Each structure stands twice: as C-alpha cells, then as structure tokens.
Amino acid sequence: MKTNSLLLIPLFFVAGCSTLPPPHYAQPNPVSSVRFCGTTGQAFEIAHTALIANGISPRAGSPTLGYVSGEHGASAFSWGEIVAVYFREENPGDILLWVVNPASLATLLTNTSMIA
C-alpha cells in the first residue's frame, strides 16, 4: 500500500492546469470558426450566453479584449472544462468567432488539446 502511494507522487509533478492564449495569439481553427454580420459587442453577448447555456461559468473577457472565457469544475466524469470563445472584426460588420477548449489537465489522455 505504501509503495502504491509513493508511485503516485510523480503524477502531481507532471499534472498541470491548462491556460488559454491571449486573444492576439489565439488563431482561428477552420473546424470551430463561424462568421456573422454584427459587432464585437454582439459577439461578446452571443459567446457569453452560449457558455452559460452549456453550463460553463464565464470568468473573464470583454468586447474590447476580443474574447470571453469560462470554466466548469471537475465532476465524476470530467477533470473540468476551460473554454474560450474568441472573436474579431475582420472587416466592418464581419465578425469571426472561434472556440478553444484546451485539455484542462496535461496528463488527461482523453482530452488532448481539443479544439471544438
């Protein structure tokens, strides 16, 4: 029993939380991006509402920063979720939105840097 406990100690040094890139470094993914006509304020409201509708608590972001991010705590079936919706105005009235959902735990094999 003591040997098994000692084997788990290295796991705590390998495991880590993920972070989200700043908006100016985040790049859109063709799979997770969508365009619409509107303003960055509307994009922020849409993203904010979508996070809440999916059970994710918004934590940071604003229309001027170009993103909204949130998290959902760990449960019996998940290590937790960290999600960000980035948006930027490509042309006047043309908004590009994309979703980033990095693995919330570096050692989690079932969620390897997922972009949804």
What the chain holds in terms of domains, given with CATH numbers, is 16-100 (3.30.310.220)
Q: Which of 68, 24, 69, 20 is nearest to 42 (CA)?
A: 68
pLDDT band at 90 (very low <50, low <70, confident <90, very high): very high
For 109, the token pair is 């094999």
The CA distance from 109 to 25, in Å, is 25
pLDDT tens for each residue of 31-42: 678 898 999 999
Tell which wins on pLDDT, 101 or 57. 57
Per-residue pLDDT for 68 more than 70?
Answer: yes
For 51, the token pair is 């996070």
pTM exceeds 0.85 for this model? no
Q: Are 48 and 68 in contact (CB under 8 A)?
A: yes
Q: Which of 13, 15, 36, 32 is nearest to 88 (CA)?
A: 36
